[in-house]
Amino acid sequence: MVTFQQCRFLLGLTHQVRITQLQIAAGQHCAVFGANGSGKSALAAVLAGQAQLLAGTAQLPARIGWVSTAQQQVLIEAERRKGDADILDVEVEPSSARDIICRDHAEWTAAQEQQLQQLAGMLRLQERLDTAFLALSTGETRKLLLIRAILQNPELLVLDEPFNGLDVDACAALHLLLAELQQRMTLLLVLNRLSELPAFIRKILYLAHGEIQWQSADSGISALELAELAQLSQLQQEPGPLPAKDRDRFTPALAEHNQAQQILVRLRQGKVQYGDRVIFQGLDWQINRGEHWQITGPNGSGKTCLLQMLSGDNPHCYTNDLQVFGYQRGSGESIWDIKQHLGLVSNSLQLQYRVGCPVLHVVLSGFYDSIGLYDQPSALQIKLALEWLALIGLEAKAKDSFQSLSFGDQRLVLIVRAMVKHPTLLILDEPCNGLDELNRLKVLALLSVLARSGESTLLYVNHHAEDKIDGITKLLQMTDYQPAVVHIDTH
C-alpha cells in the first residue's frame, strides 16, 4: 500500500522531507509519535499525498483521506474571506457544516445521506449539520472533517491528532468508530499521548529531527516496544524560576486599579443564544482574585464562548450583565482596558495568528495584546521574552519565523506569550493541545508554578483528567447551564 525508498519530498514552497525507507501494508494500521517539531505532521502530509516527490521511489494508494489542523486553518480562512464580498455589496451565504461535508461530491446519494446520519449520530453532530461552519466549536469542526474524510471512502485514512479538542465522550466515540473503520480501510494516526493509542494499531513510528528514528517490528507491537516508546516519549522536567514581571508597564493608576479589584469577573444570569439555539443560560458566576477555576463540559456546551465573552472577543459580552476587572461591559469602556489585564491561550488564537514574524516578536506581542508586533519593545521586555523562550527550550528559534514552527512549538510560544506579562487573569482554553508528552508535562508544571505565585488567576478548560494544574480548586460545569431538550412525540 505505502512504499518509500530513499525519498525526498517538497512540502509547500521550501520544506523538504526525507524518508529513507518505509513500508505499510494494507490493514497494517500505524501510529506516529515524536517530540514537537520532529516532523510528525509533515510525514502525515506526505502520506496524504500533499507533497511533491523530488527523488526516490514512492507508492501511495489512489484514494487517501486526510484530517489535520492545517485543513481546519484553510477552511476557516476561506469562510472568513467570504466576508470580503461585502465590499462589493454581494451578500454571501455562509457555508453550513453539511455544505462542507458534501461539496466534494458531484451527486449526493441516499446511501451517503444514511451514512452521514450514522456518523453524525456516533459523534453527536446530528443537530449541528445545518449550523454555519464558523459557529462550530474546535471539537465539532474536527468531527466534521473526520466525517467528510470517511465519506470519501479512502483506502488510507491519515488522521493528524484526531483526538485534539474532543471531550471525553467524543474521544470514546471516536475510539469505537476507529475500531469499526479499521476493518475496511488502513489507518495512520499521528498522536502525542500513549493513552490515545488504539488497541488495533499494528505498527509504531517514532520521529526525531524530521526522520524516522525508531519503528516497531512489522509483526505487531510488543510490550517491550511499548515500554521503549514510553521511555522515548516521557521525561519529567521541573521548570526553573519564572522570569520577572515588567513592572515598568504599570502606571501608578493602573497598578492601583489592579490591586483594588478583588472580584475579577461577575456574571449574572448569563445567557448565550444563536437563533433558536440556546447554548447556556441562567449562569451566575463570580471569580475572585486568587481563585483558580477549571471549566468542563462537552463540545458545544459554551466553554469557549464564555471565555471569549470575558476577553471581549464575543459580542455576547454586551448582551449580558457582565463585569470584568471592575468595568461593566457596554458602559463605554475600552477593549484595551480589559485586555491589558488578560493573558489568553486558545485554539482560535492559534488559528488567527497567521502573521509572518519572528518567534521573539510573537512573545513580545503579549505585552501589547496584539497579533504581530507594532510597538517598540523596551530592552527589559526583550530580555524577559528571551528568558521565557529559554524556559521552554526554544531560545534557539527566537529569530525563526513563527509560521515555520510545528503546531506544538507554536502552541508553546503562544503559552509564554500569554504568561509574559504575568496577567491578572490567565485564560487557558485547552493549552496542551498539540504538545508532546515532555512539553505537556513542562507546561503543566509551569502553570502550577504560576498558580502558586499568586500573581495570576487561572481559568482552565481541559478534556483530559490527567492534565492537572496544582492549585485549581474551583469547578464550573457547563452542562449545569444547558437547557433541557424536549422531545415531542408526534405519533
Per-residue pLDDT tens over the stretch 1-54? 899 999 999 998 888 999 999 999 999 999 999 888 889 999 999 999 999 999
Q: Which residue has the higher pLDDT, 270 or 349?
A: 270
**pLDDT by residue (tens digit) across 380-413?**
999 999 999 998 889 999 999 999 998 889 999 9
Asked whether residue 238 is assigned to any structural domain, the reply reads no
**Which residue pairs from 390-393 have beta carbons closer than 8 angstroms and sit at least 24 positions apart in sequence?**
391/239, 391/240, 391/242, 391/243, 391/416, 391/446, 392/416, 392/439, 392/442, 392/443, 392/446, 393/442
pLDDT reported for residue 259: 63
Does 363 lie in the same domain as 314?
yes
Q: Report whether pLDDT(445) > 90.
A: no
Does 443 lie in the same domain as 338?
yes
pLDDT reported for residue 41: 92
| Plot region of 470 (φ>0 → left; ψ -120 to 50 → alpha; else → beta) | beta
Q: Report whether pLDDT(177) > 70.
A: yes
| Domain end among 204, 233, 262 | 233
pLDDT reported for residue 255: 59
Asked whether residue 491 is assigned to any structural domain, the reply reads no
Q: Distance between CA 230 and CA 437 in Å, rounded?
A: 9
Does 282 lie in the same domain as 164?
no
Per the structure, the count of domains in the chain is 2
pLDDT reported for residue 340: 86
Does 286 lie in the same domain as 207?
no
Q: What is the CATH number of the domain that holds 115?
A: 3.40.50.300
Does 269 lie in the same domain as 222?
no
CB 433 within 8 A of CB 347: yes
**pLDDT by residue (tens digit) across 212-256?**
888 887 666 766 666 766 665 554 455 667 888 887 665 566 556
Q: Report whether pLDDT(274) > 70.
A: yes
| Domain end among 206, 233, 260 | 233
**pLDDT by residue (tens digit) across 324-381?**
998 999 888 888 888 888 999 998 888 888 888 999 999 999 999 999 999 999 999 9
User: Cell numbers of 148, please?
Assistant: 467528510
Does 475 lie in the same domain as 326?
yes
Does 388 lie in the same domain as 308?
yes
Domain that holds residue 111: 2-233
Q: How far is CA 476 from CA 261, 286, 460, 472, in A?
A: 21, 11, 10, 11
Indicate the pLDDT class of residue 260, thresholds 50, 70 and 90: low
Q: What is the mean pLDDT of the chain?
A: 87
Least confident of 47-61, 150-164, 248-262, 308-322: 248-262
Q: Distance between CA 271 and CA 175 in Å, rounded?
A: 33
Does 259 lie in the same domain as 180?
no
Least confident of 254-268, 288-302, 322-336: 254-268
Q: Distance between CA 178 and CA 90 in Å, rounded?
A: 42
> What is the value of pTM for the model shown?
0.75
pLDDT reported for residue 31: 94
Q: Distance between CA 204 and CA 221 in Å, rounded?
A: 7
**pLDDT by residue (tens digit) across 202-214?**
889 988 888 888 8
CB 437 within 8 A of CB 194: yes
The backbone torsions φ and ψ at residue 72, rounded to the nearest 5 degrees and listed phi first, read -55, -45
pLDDT reported for residue 487: 37
For the segment 106-131, the average pLDDT, to the nearest whole number, is 92
Q: Which residue has the higher pLDDT, 167 or 119?
A: 119
Does 415 lie in the same domain as 302?
yes
DSSP codes, 99-130: HHHHTT-SS--HHHHHHHHHHHHHTT-GGGTT
The backbone torsions φ and ψ at residue 116, rounded to the nearest 5 degrees and listed phi first, read -60, -45
Please write down the HEC assignment for all residues of 260-328: HCCEEEEEEEEEEEECCEEEEEEEEEEEECCCCEEEECCCCCCHHHHHHHHHCCCHHHCCCEEEECCEE
Neighbours of 177 (CB within 10 A): 19
pLDDT reported for residue 182: 95
For the segment 297-323, the average pLDDT, to the nearest whole number, is 92
Pairing state of beta strands 52-59 and 211-215? Answer: unpaired
**pLDDT by residue (tens digit) across 44-83?**
999 999 999 999 999 999 999 999 988 888 888 888 877 6
